[in-house]
Structure 1
Amino acid sequence: MNDPAKPPALRPVQGVAHVAVAALALAGAAWAALAMWHIRLAAAGQPPSGPPEQGGGRHRPLNALENAYHLVSSLAGVATALCAIAFLAWLWSVRDNARTLSGQHHRYAWPWVYAGWVVPIANLWVPRGIIADIHRASAPDERLPHAVNWWWGLWLVGTLTGTGLLHAETADTVIARAYTDVSPLLFVDAAVVGTAVAGALMVRAVTAVQQKHMPEFLRQTAGSKTPGITLSNS
């Protein structure tokens, strides 16, 4: 971790932002594919043999459509994990830059960058607060981009309605739900895809703000011997 007593060096953020946007696009496409399979399952209807999980620990053999759904669901899980890694890498970069640009400590200590997503109750506002603090520190006179609120609102919808990113339902359970009542699944799918789109717009907006203010900061600090005011290539 960076020394909390001094600001870190400015980091180039455009590259990591491009990776985060691409990862968000990949995750959005994966969840759109899940939505298509939910529709296909609903259209096919539940087989006469019943749902995959038959109770008492018994499972019937899956048909071709259900096997395909398991594959699509696994790929969506991988895409989501890659998206989380890329997003956190971007978040650390812009967070460190915001610390340097403002010369002030963040309101949320570094463990909240991870814990803020999983600690109950706190996860309803801490991640958005971290993004808002980053933007405020980077450009105190500019309004928070609308994409931040759209991203966070859609994220909450997707994670609090029963089948979002933070819920660990099995693929067979979701298949059974698609057979009986697909509408809630499609609602969550749409929210997650919307979250990915809004998240990409948010990443671009916050990155653009820092890119705009970094050159002026470097000009003002040119020739200074204070650590943490040069542009790092790492």
Structure 2
Amino acid sequence: MNDDLTKTAPHPVRGLSRCVTAALALAGAAWLARAVWHIRLATAGEPLSGPPDQGDGKHRTLTSLEDSYHLVSALGDVATVLCALAFLAWLLRIRDNARARSGQRPRYAWPWVYAGWVVPIANLWVPRGIVAEAHRAGDPEAPLPRVLNWWWGLWLVGSLSGAGLMYSDSTDAVIARAYTDVVPLLVSDAAVVGAAVTCVLLVRAVADKQERAGGEESRRRAAEPGVVDGATS
């Protein structure tokens, strides 16, 4: 995890990439379910008794639809946390692989793998920069995959708008918004689901690039004089 330049071999990334893909699929499905419930709430309309939060610390009894939304929202939060943990592990792996392959100190120190998502202003570009640097390791002029910008744009929209990933209001407040102004919620839901889908494509692109580079490096070493079956004679 440290950033010294001691020569280390890159680690396999294929298995971890599959785990991240599965976690992204789960999170995307959870947010799609949340969107369905937002539509159901908007279609049902607000009960005559008003929103769940009546103000002054008073809450009315939830309807069965509102109760089920609480469950869907909680499951979505769990899926999102699992996805975040898997993605951070993958991001650290590809960053370390890039450092091992290029032999150069990364632009962003390893704490930015985590802090880059939460530090204001920096979180607008640091995570994207880490992925871009990992993709270009050993080949600075390599074109970045177009899906990188699609993923990052959708991530920002889904994180900072509607009831997105950075939204801090209570579930009851989101229910009240679904009754009165559902469109921003659906825009946020669509952006999060789109970010999950494009992130799957991004993970595959970066993993394929690093696996190909690792295979080429292994073949090059095997062809060097005095190297037999990966060991020096």
**TM-score bin, normalised by smaller chain:** over 0.9
RMSD between superposed Cα atoms in Å: 1.6
For the 8 Å contact 2:30–2:76, the answer to whether it is kept is yes
1:136 equivalent in structure 2: 136
TM-score, structure 1 length as denominator? 0.92
Deviation at 1:188, TM superposition (A): 0.4
Write the letter of the residue equivalent to 2:92. W
**Does 2:22 align with 1:37?**
no
Deviation at 1:168, TM superposition (A): 1.7
Write the letter of the residue equivalent to 1:189. D
Q: How many residues align?
A: 225
Write the letter of the residue equivalent to 2:159. T
Task: Decide whether aligned partners of structure 1 residues 138 and 41 sit closer, same or farther in structure 2, where only a CA change above 3 A counts.
Answer: farther
1:182 equivalent in structure 2: 182
Question: Which digits, 9 at most, give the CA deviation of each residue in 1:125-162, with x for residues without a partner?
Answer: 11101111111115434210011100000001111214
For the 8 Å contact 1:101–1:217, the answer to whether it is kept is no
**Aligned to 1:159, what secondary structure does the other structure show?**
helix
Structure 2: give runs of 5+ residues left out of the alignment. 225-229
For the 8 Å contact 2:162–2:187, the answer to whether it is kept is no
Task: Decide whether aligned partners of structure 1 residues 7 and 177 sit closer, same or farther in structure 2, where only a CA change above 3 A counts.
Answer: farther
**Aligned to 1:137, what secondary structure does the other structure show?**
coil
2:4 equivalent in structure 1: 4
For the 8 Å contact 1:39–1:182, the answer to whether it is kept is yes
TM-score, structure 2 length as denominator? 0.92
1:227 equivalent in structure 2: none
Write the letter of the residue equivalent to 1:77. D
For the 8 Å contact 1:27–1:79, the answer to whether it is kept is yes
Task: Decide whether aligned partners of structure 1 residues 3 and 120 sit closer, same or farther in structure 2, where only a CA change above 3 A counts.
Answer: closer
Task: Decide whether aligned partners of structure 1 residues 8 and 168 sit closer, same or farther in structure 2, where only a CA change above 3 A counts.
Answer: farther
For the 8 Å contact 2:34–2:73, the answer to whether it is kept is yes
2:62 equivalent in structure 1: 62
Stretches of 4+ moved more than 6 A in 1? none
Equivalent-residue separation in structure 2 for 1:92 and 1:113 (angstroms): 6
For the 8 Å contact 2:147–2:202, the answer to whether it is kept is yes
Deviation at 1:205, TM superposition (A): 0.4
Deviation at 1:213, TM superposition (A): 0.7
Write the letter of the residue equivalent to 2:195. T
For the 8 Å contact 1:38–1:182, the answer to whether it is kept is yes
Identity percentage of aligned residues: 63
**Does 2:119 align with 1:119?**
yes
Question: Which digits, 9 at most, give the CA deviation of each residue in 1:137-192, with x for residues without a partner?
Answer: 15434210011100000001111214211222211010000000101100000000
1:51 equivalent in structure 2: 51
**Aligned to 2:201, what secondary structure does the other structure show?**
helix
Q: Select the structure with the greater relative contact order (CA < 8 A; seq sep ≥ 6).
A: 1
1:87 equivalent in structure 2: 87
**Does 2:220 align with 1:217?**
no
Deviation at 1:71, TM superposition (A): 0.2
Question: Which digits, 9 at most, give the CA deviation of each residue in 1:18-39, with x for residues without a partner?
Answer: 0001110110000000000000
